[in-house]
Amino acid sequence: MNTQALVNELKKGSVGYQTPLVPQGGSQVASNLSPLVPQQLEATLSTATSSMADLKLWPMMQKVMAQNTVVEFNRVLSHGAEHSPFIGEGGLAPLNRATYEKVATQIKYLAERREITDQANLVTLNGPSPDALAEETTRGTEALLRRVEKELFHGDSSVNDNAWDGIIKQIKDGGNTSDLRGKAVTPDYLQEVLGSLYSAPFYGMASHILVTPRVLSELIKQTVSYGRHDQIMLNNGRVDFGSNQISISSPYGMVPVVACPFMERHDRVAPAAASSAVYEGSVVTPTISVAAAAGQNAASKFVAADAGVYTYRIVPVGPNGVGVPVDTVGVSVAAGDQVTFTIANSDGRATVDHYRIYRSAPDAASADGALLVGEIRNANGSTAFVDNNDNIAGGSDILLVNNSADHMVYYQMLSLIRRPLAQVRSTFPFMLMMFGAPAVKLPSKMWAIRNAGINPAQGLP
């Protein structure tokens, strides 16, 4: 059965939670057995997509129907060499070829499990939605879409086996990156990148600049601090500071700057040390060492301004949630140093899938408030992590993307289905599921800016 036929079958499902069993022969005899019928909820997904204002990338991406769990497409690496187009009379032009890479994208499965009680199913709820199942389906859909949006940006299959690669990783892997090393982005810098992207050999035309809300706030702040006096407007007795819509002028037109709330990771700040585990896994306090500045540490990006004593907080992440954080001892770091430590886990990958690594500010009293500097897959017992200060703590990514279907798409096998689960107690359990994966087809025509910082205003940390 192909995907479209499966969708058609799902749409035939009853709107109810379960469909009454019809015995062989067609008689509508009442039965205490009912099949668990999955239902296609395309309308629910469409409504949530249009009503959730904090979703930016998910509505922007073109949806393409996938016919299999693995989708192959050709990624253009180059359009050919720039030979002279002139030839002599009777001559032959040199052979020129574009270069392609065949890419296989695996469809991934995303889900949100919910349930309602027997009582909620039997009585009418107060409020605008009296149907408990419909209400919980709506809330579950919104929760799932928020996590889908985050993973569209940050997914990394090298860290989580079940995840896809988000567009940040795909664009970075394509080669067009620059690094601000914690400095605040400016409109002048964005114009420079847009000009470089539009020029040879990329010939890329970004349609949107995707930023975190903090980066957009920084750009708005600059319109007041460094702009003309008329950028502070008096409107019917109300004073407006800065513009609520910013576009950057490029050689081919204006490119809007879009604030994406879920581009800012919710887990960027370390959880409290007293957090309780929700699974059985345990992590031993890591042994930590520092390789001093030397020729073999040329990859280190620690500079003199970074010198100090750092504490790292390791947070294990497993199939059932986040475990108890473990802190390293303080380690003194100087310019050119390389920090290495080994994480030991007694239960292997059965309970710990990967680790989030947080680093404190230099000379901080503890790792409380430490910021995310990396994630690493659990190597099934003993995992080595190396910190060269590649990721600036608290830094943000900025993406210059083209959202047309020939540049990037979301391969969608099924939009959203509700799959009832077997009842093992006095509740109605169900799971909301989505099947798909993002694909950046032309990363060479996009750009990723790493480690963008902000200039904090007086009174802010």
For the chain, what are the domain ranges? 3-68+105-161+411-431, 167-263+396-404+445-452, 283-387
For 88-199, where are the alpha helices, taking DSSP H only?
Answer: 118-122, 132-154, 167-174, 187-198
**Residue-level pLDDT at 364:** 92
Average pLDDT over residues 152-176: 92
**Residue-level pLDDT at 16:** 42
| 304 neighbors 335 (Cβ within 8 angstroms) | yes
Distance CA 319, CA 278 (A): 10
Average pLDDT over residues 386-405: 93
**Residue-level pLDDT at 15:** 41
Range name among 120-124, 189-193, 352-356 with the lowest pLDDT average? 120-124
For 82, the 3-state DSSP assignment is coil
**Residue-level pLDDT at 17:** 43
**Half-sphere exposure (CA, 13 Å, Cβ side) for 354?**
15
Range name among 10-19, 75-84, 232-241, 403-412 with the lowest pLDDT average? 10-19
pLDDT > 70 fraction of the chain, expressed in percent and rounded: 79
Average pLDDT over residues 339-364: 84
Give the residues across from 234 on adjacent strands: 239
| 438 neighbors 169 (Cβ within 8 angstroms) | no
Determine the residue type at 333.
V
**Residue-level pLDDT at 30:** 44
Average pLDDT over residues 440-459: 84
What is the number of other CB atoms lying within 10 angstroms of the CB of residue 419?
16
Residue 190 has pLDDT above 90, yes or no: yes
**Residue-level pLDDT at 228:** 58
Q: How far is CA 214 from CA 41, 194, 331, in A?
A: 35, 21, 30
Burial 264-278 (b: 16+ CB within 10 A, else e): bbeebebbeeeeebe
Residue 32 has pLDDT above 50, yes or no: no
Q: Provide CB contacts within 8 A for 93, sequence distance 6+.
A: 83, 85, 87
**Residue-level pLDDT at 18:** 44
216: pLDDT confidence band, cut at 50, 70 and 90?
Answer: very high
Residue 103 has pLDDT above 90, yes or no: no
Q: How far is CA 116 from CA 106, 131, 321, 402, 417, in A?
A: 33, 11, 22, 42, 17
| 276 neighbors 323 (Cβ within 8 angstroms) | no
Place of tokens 């988000």: 166
User: Of the candidates 315, 250, 266, which has an alpha carbon nearest to the alpha carbon of residue 286?
Assistant: 315
What's phi and psi for 208, nearest 5 deg?
A: -145, 150
Residue 69 has pLDDT above 80, yes or no: yes
Whether cis (ω within 30° of 0) applies to the bond prior to 201 is yes
Average pLDDT over residues 310-314: 92
For 363, the 3-state DSSP assignment is coil
Q: CA gyration radius for the chain?
A: 26
Distance CA 171, CA 206 (A): 13
Give the residues across from 414 on adjacent strands: 435
Residue 149 has pLDDT above 70, yes or no: yes
Give the pLDDT confidence of 104-137 residue by residue, as tens digits: 899 999 999 998 887 777 766 655 556 788 888 8
Range name among 19-33, 257-271, 386-400 with the lowest pLDDT average? 19-33
What is the number of other CB atoms lying within 10 angstroms of the CB of residue 408?
24
Residue 33 has pLDDT above 50, yes or no: no
Q: Provide CB contacts within 8 A for 77, sequence distance 6+.
A: 99, 100, 101, 444
Q: How far is CA 2 from CA 9, 37, 97, 130, 239, in A?
A: 11, 18, 35, 37, 58
**Residue-level pLDDT at 448:** 96
Return the structure tokens found at 168: 């940040």
357: pLDDT confidence band, cut at 50, 70 and 90?
Answer: very high
**Residue-level pLDDT at 375:** 93
Average pLDDT over residues 271-299: 63
Q: Are strands 247-250 and 447-452 parallel, antiparallel or unpaired?
A: unpaired
Average pLDDT over residues 383-407: 92
* Better-scored residue on pLDDT, 276 or 59: 59
